[in-house]
Amino acid sequence: MRDKTDDFTNVNSARDEQAGAIDWSALDSLRVLQKPGKPDLRKQLMSVYLSSSPTLMDNIKTAVTTMDGQALMQAAHALKSSSVSIGAKVFGTTCSELEQLGRINSLGDVPALAQRAEYEFAAVCSAFREALQQND
């Protein structure tokens, strides 16, 4: 039987603004990589994401402000990859859209999409922070 305190699948149900921000099964599937006696890999990944992803989000905002398609493509690609790998699929999809628009340098709709990305990013970060606090 699984210990519920070690399961992330139900963490985000308490807050409506976070609902759907994370596919917790993606993190829970990493449990097989966990080595006995070592720090929780899933917690480490969430912590690294929380410390490294704000810089990428800032790079997206800067690229949107300066209308730099190349910089937008690069930052959105990096953030998409790290987000999807740890279960932030909705946000990852938005990053993918930003990446594609940057790639073709079609930046007319980018400000609205970037605003949506900021909202989704905040929900992801909030969900991860809550999970880390609840599972300490």
Per-residue pLDDT tens over the stretch 106-123: 999 899 999 999 999 999
Q: Which domains does the chain have, with CATH numbers?
A: 4-134 (1.20.120.160)
pLDDT of residue 39: 85
Q: How many residues does the chain have?
A: 136
Q: What is the pTM of this model?
A: 0.84
The burial of 131, by beta-carbon neighbours within 10 Å (0-12 exposed, 13-18 middle, 19 or more buried), is given as buried
Cα separation, 131 vs 124, whole angstroms = 11
